[in-house]
């Protein structure tokens, strides 16, 4: 799994581990077009590679309360992350492009799990990694006693207006 390390100059969660590419969805923007844009901006991945090989994988919905590190403490923040999987060919290597990422590392699943268990991922990115581990049968009821609770918390009902109905997942 390609893992990004956030730039040490980022104002939020500097130096923490992150998804290969992710970003804010602009008003009216299709989530698939967003990931194409972000993959190019953050990981220097060509549009044709992303457009041709990316698979919609669902999403996570959750609410968190912000900390000082996120800018202001105590704000209730509902969020949706549309998730896409992209299996890169061995000759395609993500490279930092826009200064938001310090670098990328290709990690085995055991290393990813270790970093996750030690709080090295940006919190909302950890949720996406956990979702990946569940979808790929790595994290299961057999090896995680809180499996059902984790799945429930990854897919919260958000009682707020906004683009968060994953059943109408685009692409």
The pLDDT value given to residue 171? 44
Instruction: Choose among 95, 89, 11: nearest CA to 53.
Output: 89
Angle at 33 between CA 95 and CA 58, to 5 degrees: 90
Q: How far apart are CA 77 and CA 149, in angstroms?
A: 20
Instruction: Kindly report the backbone phi and psi dihedral angles of residue 166, in degrees, each rounded to the nearest multiple of 5, phi listed first.
Output: -70, -15
Element housing 131 (H / E): helix 123-135
Q: What is the DSSP string of 107-128?
A: --HHHHHHHHHTT-B-HHHHHH
The pLDDT value given to residue 57? 95
The pLDDT value given to residue 144? 97
Q: What is the pLDDT along the chain (171 residues), one digit of tens a residue?
A: 999 999 999 988 999 999 999 988 888 889 999 999 999 999 999 999 999 999 999 999 998 888 777 678 888 888 889 999 999 999 999 999 999 999 999 999 999 999 999 999 999 999 999 999 999 999 999 999 999 999 999 999 888 776 655 554 544
Provide the number of structural domains found in the chain: 1
The pLDDT value given to residue 21? 95
The pLDDT value given to residue 152? 94
Residue 57 sits in a domain whose CATH number is: 3.90.79.10
Q: How far apart are CA 17 and CA 115, in angstroms?
A: 8
Using an 8 Å Cβ cutoff, are 51 and 145 in contact?
A: no
The pLDDT value given to residue 64? 85
Range of the domain at 32: 2-168
The pLDDT value given to residue 71? 72
Q: How far apart are CA 84 and CA 170, in angstroms?
A: 11
| DSSP 3-state of 34 | helix
């Amino acid at each position: 799994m390609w893992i990004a390390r956030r730039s040490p100059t980022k104002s939020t969660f500097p130096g923490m581990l992150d998804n290969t590419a992710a970003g804010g969805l602009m008003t009216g923007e299709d989530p698939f077009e967003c990931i194409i844009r972000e993959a190019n901006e953050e990981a220097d991945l060509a549009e044709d590679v992303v457009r041709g090989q990316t698979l919609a994988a669902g999403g996570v919905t959750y609410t968190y309360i912000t900390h000082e590190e996120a800018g202001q403490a105590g704000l209730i923040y509902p969020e949706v992350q549309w998730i896409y999987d992209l299996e890169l060919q061995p000759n395609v290597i993500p490279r930092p492009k826009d200064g938001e990422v310090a670098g990328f590392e290709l990690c085995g699943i055991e290393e990813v799990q270790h970093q996750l268990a030690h709080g090295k991922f940006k919190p909302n990115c950890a949720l996406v990694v956990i979702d990946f581990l569940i979808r790929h049968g790595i994290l299961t009821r057999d090896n995680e006693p809180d499996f059902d609770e984790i799945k429930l918390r990854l897919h919260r009902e958000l009682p707020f207006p906004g683009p968060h109905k994953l059943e109408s997942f685009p692409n």
